[in-house]
Structure 1
Amino acid sequence: MTGSRATIARIWRGRTRPDVADAYEPYLREAGIRPLEDKALGVQLFREDREGESEFITISYWEDVEAMSRFAGPDPRRIHHLPRDAEFLIELPQGVQVLRILAAKLPPG
């Protein structure tokens, strides 16, 4: 993260079938994560492989709701699906979580 302090976390979740998870991961990195790296204070991408599905979770960190809204639009909970999401995801997510960060201690970088 840059020198600004993150006060907001925006959390997106999407699930794929196991047979397309390995193809979705690089697509999500390029089409979803790369734009966030340029705008958010920080971003993390997680993947959990389970029986029958793989879940991807993206957490982006923002200085405040206004900064997040400049990227996501006036309703920061609104989903902006990637062009190929319908091809990969089991169902299209209907929203994201927007959480205030109350405490954070991260390991060194």
Structure 2
Amino acid sequence: MPTKPTIARIWRGRTRRDRADEYEAYNRMHGVPPLENTALGVQLFREDREEETWFTTISYWADMDAMKEFTGGDATAVHHLDRDPELLIELPKRIEIHRILVDREGLS
């Protein structure tokens, strides 16, 4: 039986609108695959605002130990991609870790 996630790790970053497509492609190529290979699931969201674009990545984990193994020990540390300083307006200083309290599929 597959493991159900108990933890969601949420990262948010923003870029200028004129760099949003470039950052999305970069994040899909370099940010998402390591999570796809390790986490139980991953989602990437994009919100285009008037002058900037926000990206949110949510990865799902079996428990804190699994997340710590992926992050190298500190599950709360922000791990920036190599080009984040160039492409993001500012480097995110924190990530969020949430316990999953309800997990249902097929909501409509």
Is 1:69 matched with 2:60? no
Partner of 2:12: 13
Ranges of 4+ aligned residues in structure 1 off by more than 4 Å: none
Deviation for aligned residue 1:75: 1.5
Instruction: Tell me the residue number matched to 1:29.
Output: 28
- After superposition, the C-alpha distances for 1:17-49 in whole angstroms (9 at most, x for unaligned) are 000000010100111001100000000000000
| Distance in 1 separating the partners of 2:67 and 2:89 | 27
Percent identity, aligned pairs only, is: 57
Q: Root-mean-square deviation (CA), in Å?
A: 1.3
Please say if 1:3 is aligned against 2:2: yes
Inter-partner Cα distance in structure 2 for 1:107 and 1:85? 35
3-state SS of paired residue (1:37): helix
Unaligned runs of 5+ in 1: none
TM-score (ref. length: structure 1): 0.94
Q: Secondary structure at the match of 2:31?
A: helix
Taking structure 2 as the reference length, the TM-score comes to: 0.95
Letter aligned with residue 97 of structure 2:
V
